Amino acid sequence: MLNFIKPSPSQKLAVAVWLPCLLAGLTLAAAASARQAAALEQGADSAHAALQRTTYRIINLANGDYIAPALINASGQVAFSLANGRDGPLRSFFYDGKTVQDISTLGADFARVTGLNDHGHVTGVSQTKAGIVRSFVWSKRRGMIDLGALPGAVSTWEPAINNRDEITGESNGDPLPYPRAFRWTLSSGMEDLGGLASGADTIAYGRAINDNGLIAGNSLTPAYDYHAFAWERATGIVDIDTLGNRYSDAVGVDANGQIGGNFFVDNGNTHAFIWTRGGGMRDIGTAGGEGNWIVGMTASGRMTGVITSTNVAQRAMTWTRATGIVMLGTFGGATSFAIGANNKGQVVGGAATVDDDWRAFVWTAKEGLVDLNTRLRHAPAGLTLHSAQAVSDKGAILAISNAGLVLLVPERVCGCRHAVGPIAAAELVKVGTPLDVSVSFAGEDRAARHNVIWSWGDGSGDSAGNTMARNGSGSATGSHTFGSPGMYTVSARVADLAGNSAAVSRKIIVYDQSRGFAGGAGSFTSPHVPNKKAPFQAGLATFSFIAPAVTRGEKVLVAGQLDFQVGGLNFRSKELRPTGMQGVFAGNGTINGAGNYQFSMGAKAGNGKGDGAGNFSLKIWRVDPMSGAEMVAYDNQGQGNKAAERKVIKGVIAVQ
């Protein structure tokens, strides 16, 4: 028999996570001097006062699996990446304040954004028809432009852009196997920045660029360390690691030329640094923790990230030259993280509650931590904001919710239509048994009428929902019977008579009880990574999987699949197979649409005697082709992560 157990709100599951270098894309231009920072944040007090009065309207942006980063510029334009459906491609999108458009690719079905400037120009990486990864810059006027590659290289990666359309990143590929930092402009093309070591050992990565053309990154030194660097036309590449670290890397560079980043200390922890021309590199301290990690800087000099400790969950922090490190707290839980900030003193991220639910926050020095869920106006029923990703200088906030990626617009400037909440449905349903679904919507137009169209993801076609509405808000229901087991993406598109529409989706596991199978969908809290040599990210982790629990001969009775998301990591596999051990599975997959990773997954159904919805464990790794070493990308089975802490908070796991 299958075991379906409803979870208890007190159940907890703690997992460690590695956040890929994609977070470099969250860093627009970075920090400033104390004087310049004060000038840029001089409107902060009025912003704080406005925040106390501000409520937010909701705009649904993404219908699918969101891939970090999500970026917002000064005028509220947005760039983000999205994977749709089981076999859906990874594509990138631009929101101009009115509509969302696909910005296309360089030939293949892969495009991921990494940067956005105030002119609405987007950078990212895409694949050509030949399968080569190249960097691009996109604008509405010119479309997508391939940046090319350095002489002797093939690929380009992780471009960052300033407001003068100057771009930096890295380029490599046979016969130039090692990455080299580049500078690119439309008029001059691609330029090699060199490195701190010369000849065959030249390795360098461009990470950030400010509006004066100062580039920050890191490079291999003659002593075979990696040091943060600064590059300008007048000086060329300069080693800025005056602390003598074995490894340091820049995250951002500000309007005044100060550089912030991270470095490893002797005990294996990471510390954040600030560099100035006059003072060199300085450790910003840890505020009582063992380490910290910054993920972003603003043009006003504000850095955001986390404080880390071995035995204490990580906590969100922000830093300015005037205040030093400020701990932001939580909503009663153990963990929080700060991802983004603006030049008005607002910081955004996510924080845990006492029950390990996750809530998106906005923080100011005057008001402290504010749960954004308490500031929503005309929110559809069931909508929950789990974390905030970015905030514009005008106060618009990008957030991840249980209805996908949403934009929160201050009420006074919105002019929004209707918002759509999450799809309510069972996580698992038996083949041949009707799946009942519902979705809610809400808006200000009391006279608006809405139509809802359901798509079931199994090729059966669309169907209209039964809609009930009053005063512009309401809900719709639908029902569908699946004929085959598998993982399906069910979506609902809600449209008004004026043609305004928004869509949401969720995954459903369909099983055949007569066949051996394992399946599940749910969420758990993921704290910091035990591996101190990786960026740290915590938050709500979600998963959906279906796999054959047994095989009969060589015939697989259920096609395996795993979708897993946490922070900036989106892991997908179309190969999930049993290992022979009860409840243990293995396979291969990709992170954020790229790479060749192996994984091992464990799933145990709850027994109704305290285990609730069951346990979920996952380890993801790749083998380094040069050294043969195992490079762990995610592991919730490692040191400091007890099995009792890996219980699913919400969802169900069933194993036959």
pLDDT digits over 91-107, tens only? 999 999 989 999 999 99
Could you tell me the two tokens for 259?
């550089």
AA letter at 484? S
Bigger pLDDT: 41 vs 595: 595
Q: What is the pLDDT of residue 553?
A: 53
User: Is the confidence at residue 85, as pLDDT, over 80?
Assistant: no
φ and ψ at 640, to 5 degrees? 85, 5
Binning pLDDT at 50, 70 and 90, where does residue 443 land? confident
User: Is the confidence at residue 178, as pLDDT, over 60?
Assistant: yes
- Note the residue count of the chain: 656
| Contacts of residue 547, Cβ cutoff 8 Å, sequence gap at least 6 | 517, 518, 519, 558, 560, 561, 562, 576, 577, 578, 585
Binning pLDDT at 50, 70 and 90, where does residue 608 land? low
Q: What is the pLDDT of residue 411?
A: 76
- At 375-410, the pLDDT tens digits run 998 899 999 999 999 999 999 999 999 999 999 999
φ and ψ at 568, to 5 degrees? -95, 10
User: Is the confidence at residue 168, as pLDDT, over 80?
Assistant: yes
Q: What is the mean pLDDT of residues 139-162?
A: 96
Lowest-confidence segment of 47-61, 171-185, 507-521 by average pLDDT: 47-61
Lowest-confidence segment of 137-141, 332-336, 531-535 by average pLDDT: 531-535
Q: What is the pLDDT of residue 20?
A: 29
User: Is the confidence at residue 649, as pLDDT, over 60?
Assistant: yes
Bigger pLDDT: 637 vs 260: 260
Own/partner contacts of 368-372, CB < 8 Å, gap of 24 or more, are: 368/328, 368/329, 369/328, 369/329, 369/330, 369/331, 370/51, 371/331, 372/56, 372/397, 372/399, 372/408
**% of residues, the chain, pLDDT over 90:** 57
Burial class (CB in 10 A: 0-12, 13-18, 19+), 464: exposed
Q: What is the pLDDT of residue 140?
A: 95
195 within 8 A of 202, measured Cβ to Cβ: yes
**% of residues, the chain, pLDDT over 70:** 83
- At 113-132, the pLDDT tens digits run 999 999 999 999 999 999 99
| Contacts of residue 116, Cβ cutoff 8 Å, sequence gap at least 6 | 28, 71, 72, 73, 77, 78, 79, 122, 123, 161
User: Is the confidence at residue 309, as pLDDT, over 70?
Assistant: yes
Lowest-confidence segment of 313-317, 380-384, 547-551 by average pLDDT: 547-551
Q: What is the mean pLDDT of residues 439-449?
A: 84
Q: What is the pLDDT of residue 530?
A: 43
Of 359, 350, 352, 353, nearest in space to 389 by CA: 350
User: Is the confidence at residue 11, as pLDDT, over 50?
Assistant: no
- At 322-345, the pLDDT tens digits run 999 999 999 999 889 999 999 999
Binning pLDDT at 50, 70 and 90, where does residue 65 land? confident
Q: What is the mean pLDDT of residues 241-248?
A: 94
SS3 helix, strand, coil % of the chain, rounded to 5?
A: 5, 55, 40
567 within 8 A of 16, measured Cβ to Cβ: no
Q: Would you state the torsion angle of the CA atoms of residues 52, 386, 157, 87, taken in this order, to the nearest 10 degrees?
A: -140
Q: Would you state the torsion angle of the CA atoms of residues 312, 316, 317, 318, taken in this order, to the nearest 10 degrees?
A: 170
Bigger pLDDT: 143 vs 655: 143
User: Is the confidence at residue 187, as pLDDT, over 90?
Assistant: yes
State the chain's mean pLDDT as an integer.
84
- DSSP result, 175-202: TEEEEEEEEEETTTEEEE---SS-GGG-
- At 269-292, the pLDDT tens digits run 889 999 999 999 999 999 888 889
Q: What is the pLDDT of residue 52?
A: 56
DSSP three-state, residue 168: strand
Residue at token pair 């083949």? 431
Q: What is the pLDDT of residue 606?
A: 76
Residue at token pair 């003598």? 244
Lowest-confidence segment of 158-167, 186-195, 462-471 by average pLDDT: 462-471
First-to-last alpha carbon distance for the chain, in angstroms, is 6
Bigger pLDDT: 625 vs 72: 72
User: Is the confidence at residue 609, as pLDDT, over 70?
Assistant: no
Could you tell me the two tokens for 469?
């509405």
Pairwise CA distance, residues 521 & 427, whole Å: 6
Bigger pLDDT: 472 vs 160: 160
AA letter at 373? N
Q: What is the pLDDT of residue 38?
A: 46
User: Is the confidence at residue 243, as pLDDT, over 90?
Assistant: yes
Q: What is the mean pLDDT of residues 452-481?
A: 89
